C-alpha cells in the first residue's frame, strides 16, 4: 500500500543535475506516487524537479510533491543561525517566498516543512512539541504574508512533521489537538477558503525512544508508535528502522 517515496539529499546535493534526477525517478510515475525531497539544497533540487514535471506535460493538479525547506527549525532552532551568509534569514525567507510563487498553481506541491520532530527528539514533552512546532509554523505565516503572499497560498504550502513516541493515547490526542490549534491560528488571518485551515501532517517514529541495548524492543515501540499515528489520521508515516540508532 505504499504510495509515497522520500529521498534525502546529503553532501552531494549541490552537484545534483537534471540527468541525476532523471535517473533517480526513472520508472516512477509522478501522478501515481507522492514524492518527498529533504536534506540539503532542496530549493535547487525543486527547480530541477519542477522543470522535469513541466517538460513531461503532467497536469498540475496531478503532481504531489513535498520539498522540505525549513530554515526556522532545521537551521535557526538547531544551529542558532540561518546560514553563514544570511544572519537575519531575510534571504532564506525571500527565496522561500519566490518558490511559493513559483508553485502557486500546483495545488498539491508543498515547499515549507515545519520539522516538529526536532523538538520531540531533543526531549520535549508532547505539549512542548505542539507549542514549539505551531509557533514556528505561525512565524512562517507572519513572515510570508508580510512579504505580500496571501494567507490561503502560504497555508496550503506548509507541511508538518511530528515525531510519535510510545505514549500511545496521548500521541493520538496530539494530532487531533494539532489540527484544531492550527485551524484556529489560520482562521485568525481570515482566509478566503476554509480548506486553508487544514493541517497536512507527516509522522515519523521517535529516535529519542530507541535503545541500543536491546534493539529488538524498538520493533515493539515502532509498532505502537505507528499505530498511534495511523489512528490519529496522519497523511503519511515513516517508521524508523529498529537498528537506526547504531547502524548506518
Report the 3 state secondary structure along 185-219.
HHHCCCCCCHHHHCCCEEEEECCCCCCCCCCCHHH
Average pLDDT over residues 56-72: 95
pLDDT score recorded for residue 40: 87
Encode pLDDT of 93-144 as tens digits: 899 999 999 999 999 999 999 999 999 999 999 999 999 999 999 999 999 9
Q: How many residues does the chain have?
A: 248
- Determine the average pLDDT of the residues in 229-245: 95
Q: Is residue 86 within 8 Å of 92, Cβ to Cβ?
A: yes
Q: Can you give the pLDDT at residue 153?
A: 97
Model confidence pLDDT, tens digit, residues 8-62: 998 777 788 999 999 999 999 999 999 999 998 899 999 999 999 999 999 999 9
Q: For residues 140-156, give the mean pLDDT.
A: 96
CB 58 within 8 A of CB 105: no
pLDDT digits (tens, 9 = 90+) for 167-185: 999 999 999 999 999 999 9
What rounded mean pLDDT belongs to the chain?
A: 93
* Alpha-carbon gap, residue 74 to 61, rounded angstroms: 29
Helix (H, G, I), strand (E, B) or coil at 110: strand
- Rounded Cα–Cα distance for residues 186 and 157 (Å): 13
Helix (H) or strand (E) holding 51: helix 42-56
Q: How far apart are CA 44 and CA 112, in angstroms?
A: 14
CA distances from 169 to 25, 154, 166, 228, 230 (A): 38, 31, 9, 7, 12
* Cell numbers at 69, concatenated: 525547506
Is the pLDDT assigned to residue 87 strictly greater than 80?
A: no
Residue 198 has pLDDT above 70, yes or no: yes
Q: Give the whole-angstrom CA distance, residue 208 versus residue 224.
A: 15
Place of cell 546529503: 10
pLDDT at 91: 84
Instruction: Determine the average pLDDT of the residues in 195-223.
Output: 95
Q: How far is CA 179 from CA 63, 67, 86, 182, 184, in A?
A: 24, 21, 32, 5, 9
pTM of the predicted structure, to 2 decimals? 0.93
Say whether pLDDT at 232 is over 90: yes
What is the reported pLDDT for 90? 83
At residue 111, the pLDDT reads 97
| DSSP state at residue 14 | G
Return the pLDDT at 11: 79
- Share of residues in the chain with pLDDT > 70 (%): 98
Compute the distance between CA of residue 240 and CA of residue 210 in angstroms, rounded to an integer: 9
Amino acid at each position: 500500500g505504499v504510495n509515497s517515496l522520500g529521498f534525502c539529499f546529503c553532501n552531494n546535493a549541490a552537484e545534483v543535475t537534471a540527468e541525476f534526477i532523471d535517473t533517480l525517478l526513472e520508472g516512477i510515475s509522478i501522478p501515481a506516487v507522492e514524492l518527498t525531497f529533504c536534506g540539503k539544497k532542496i530549493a535547487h533540487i525543486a527547480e530541477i524537479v519542477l522543470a522535469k514535471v513541466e517538460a513531461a506535460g503532467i497536469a498540475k493538479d496531478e503532481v504531489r510533491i513535498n520539498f522540505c525547506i525549513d530554515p526556522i527549525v532545521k537551521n535557526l532552532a538547531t544551529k542558532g543561525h540561518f546560514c553563514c551568509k544570511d544572519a537575519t534569514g531575510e534571504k532564506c525567507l525571500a527565496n522561500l517566498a519566490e518558490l511559493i510563487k513559483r508553485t502557486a498553481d500546483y495545488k498539491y506541491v508543498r515547499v515549507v516543512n515545519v520539522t516538529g520532530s526536532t523538538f520531540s527528539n531533543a526531549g520535549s514533552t508532547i505539549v512542548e512539541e505542539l507549542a514549539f512546532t505551531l509557533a514556528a509554523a505561525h512565524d512562517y505565516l507572519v513572515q510570508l504574508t508580510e512579504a505580500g503572499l496571501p494567507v490561503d497560498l502560504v497555508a496550503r504550502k506548509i507541511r508538518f512533521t511530528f515525531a510519535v513516541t510510545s505514549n500511545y493515547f496521548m500521541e493520538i490526542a496530539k494530532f487531533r489537538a494539532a489540527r484544531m490549534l492550527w485551524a484556529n491560528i489560520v482562521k485568525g488571518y481570515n482566509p478566503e477558503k476554509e480548506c486553508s485551515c487544514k493541517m497536512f501532517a507527516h509522522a515519523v517514529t521517535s529516535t529519542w525512544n530507541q535503545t541500543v541495548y536491546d534493539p529488538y524492543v524498538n520493533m515493539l515501540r515502532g509498532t505502537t508508535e505507528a499505530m498511534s499515528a495511523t489512528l490519529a489520521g496522519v497523511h503519511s508515516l515513516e517508521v524508523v528502522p529498529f537498528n537506526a540508532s547504531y547502524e548506518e
